Structure 1
Amino acid sequence: MSAKPVDTQPEAERLKKYLEPTVASHELYLEDVEVRIAGQHRTVHVIVDLLEGTGGVDLDRIAEVSRALSEALDQDPGDPGSPYDLEVSSPGVGRPLTEPRHWRRNVGRLVKVNLVQEDNITGRLTGVTEDGIVVVPDLPVKKGMKPKQGEPVEVGFDRIRRGSVEVEFSRPGEPEPEMLDIDDDEAEEA
């Protein structure tokens, strides 16, 4: 006999409404609440984000809101009484860009924009307007060559099917790691 999966969606929605004021009191936005159940044990995963601005939520802020959320959950009148683990995090780099504030937070980063019935664009996000985004697309180049950038392209939010941040190991403007420059004479002495 197999175990039936538990539908945690109603519980997650209830907790999202219940915990939203606690998160907002720390000047953060409640992005999502996920509830996972294993037997009698629950894991409540709360994802918080900055209201506005760039960058991410720092660890001190995560710890602070985590304590407040734990206190709120301990006093939850709708709590079913089962033990829980609380996990609090900020959205990872893999989270889709679905709201204008997501795009604003990632200005300057390399993004992939999947468009409705058009070719996708990968390039540098340089701006966000009320109606959409501005991307400087990467143009195709031969392997091993530095990428070239095209002219800025304005894309309305209504044309975007999906957006995501592309992982970069070094960003433009950051210094490249220094290589040791050893003369042949120095190499022989070593």
Structure 2
Amino acid sequence: MSNTRSDATRARIEAELTDPLAALGLDVEAVELSPAGKRRVLRVAVDKDGGVTLDDVADATREVSRVLDDSDVMGETPYLLEVTSRGVDRPLTLPRHWRRNVTRLVRITPVEGEQVTGRVRSSDEDGVDVEIDGEVRRFGYAEVAKALVQVEFNRKNEDEDD
């Protein structure tokens, strides 16, 4: 029962934050609420085209605090607020996630077939083009069970010569 209440609270928090953060040019990517002793931890992940800067996170933190202070959504229980960028460990689930990761290496687990790793070449509202072993393959979003960006520590700029 408390999971349902927690899910409803998370959904309400996200609904309250979506428009104010959109006014800052930010998308709400995740809202997580977890118990931590006698208080709770509220984590809000944000993103935008071009990536999130520290100034964006600071602006978002002030705006989230203001919205929550003006609302009763968090109730009387004390909470710790953490506002972060989306990070590379979150799955690519929406067209904007793919668009923001063009040129990045991704590992895709298709609904059917073997897991593949390739570079995102382009995306649109219907699907994504991924270069795998020199050939571009099209995936409709419904064909992707899971996709994660792969961290590349020595990634070369695409404009550089080999």
Range of TM-score over shorter length = 0.7 to 0.9
Residues 15-164 of structure 1: pairs in structure 2 closer than 5 A: 15-50=13-48, 53=49, 55-137=50-132, 149-164=133-148
The farther-off stretch of 58-67 and 121-130 is: 121-130
C-alpha contact 1:6 1:37 (8 A) present in aligned 2? no
TM-score (norm. length: structure 1): 0.76
Deviation string, structure 1 residues 3-51 (Cα, Å, up to 9, x no partner)? xx9532222112111222221121111112111123431211111111x
Unmatched 5+ stretches in structure 2: none
Runs of 4+ in structure 1 displaced over 3 angstroms?
none
Structure 1 vs Structure 2: percent identity of aligned residues?
Answer: 40
State the AA in 2 paired with 1:25. A
Q: Measured at CA, do residues 81 and 132 of structure 1 come closer, stay the same or move farther in structure 2, by a change above 3 Å?
A: same
Matched, 1:173 2:157: yes
Q: Structure 1 CA distance, aligned partners of 2:93 and 2:25? A: 20
Give the number of equivalent residue pairs.
157
Q: Structure 2 CA distance, aligned partners of 1:163 and 1:122? A: 9
TM-score (norm. length: structure 2): 0.88
RMSD of Structure 2 on Structure 1 (CA): 1.9
Structure exhibiting the larger radius of gyration computed from Cα positions: 1
Residue equivalent to 1:188 = none
Q: Structure 1 CA distance, aligned partners of 2:44 and 2:118? A: 31
Deviation at 1:81, TM superposition (A): 1.4
Deviation string, structure 1 residues 53-81 (Cα, Å, up to 9, x no partner)? 3x421110110110111111112133411
Deviation at 1:150, TM superposition (A): 2.0
Unmatched 5+ stretches in structure 1: 138-148, 176-190
C-alpha contact 2:130 2:136 (8 A) present in aligned 1? yes
Matched, 1:11 2:9: yes
Q: Structure 2 CA distance, aligned partners of 1:92 and 1:159? A: 23
